[in-house]
Amino acid sequence: MDPVLSEANAQIRRAKTAGSPVVQSFFDEPTNTATYVVWDAATKKAAIVDSVLDFDAAAGRTKTASADAVIAYVRDQGLTVDWLLETHAHADHLSAAPYLSIGVQKGPPIGVQKGPPSSSSVTGMTGALFALVAA
């Protein structure tokens, strides 16, 4: 297994034994989607899942208000973001992951799910994250 994925799975296993993660959602009304910050209260390590970059179609411009709200939350909670995760291709919104990788700290890896998580064999970092949140 890839060393980065191994470490992600190890972090998730440690978090599962430590207790439930904290999950904070940020709802984006124009796209009817949610961004999640999932974090461990003991270590303050976090993942940002399915981030939204605001897009004004009429003006053809992007804005960062939604991502800035996530950054403010991360900073207010004193979190270290280890992962920026995209669970699927987003036809309904643009990802703010590249912007967030600069805004939360220098360069946490961006992970993309390569297929739907399976309920019988959850693999990969986002599949393992889904298993953690569902547990």
Cα–Cα distances in Å, from 95 out to 37, 79, 92, 99, 133?
14, 21, 10, 9, 21
**Cα 55 to Cα 47: distance, rounded to the nearest angstrom:** 23
Give me the number of domains the chain comprises.
1
Which distant-in-sequence residues (6+ apart) come within 8 Å of 134 by Cβ? none
- The per-residue pLDDT string of the chain (135 residues; one tens digit each, 9 = 90 and over) reads 678 778 777 877 776 776 778 999 999 888 888 999 999 888 898 999 999 988 888 888 888 999 999 999 999 999 999 888 888 666 667 888 888 888 776 555 555 444 544 433 333 444 444 444 444
The CATH number linked to 26 is 3.60.15.10
Domain that holds residue 115: 3-134
This model's pTM is above 0.85 = no
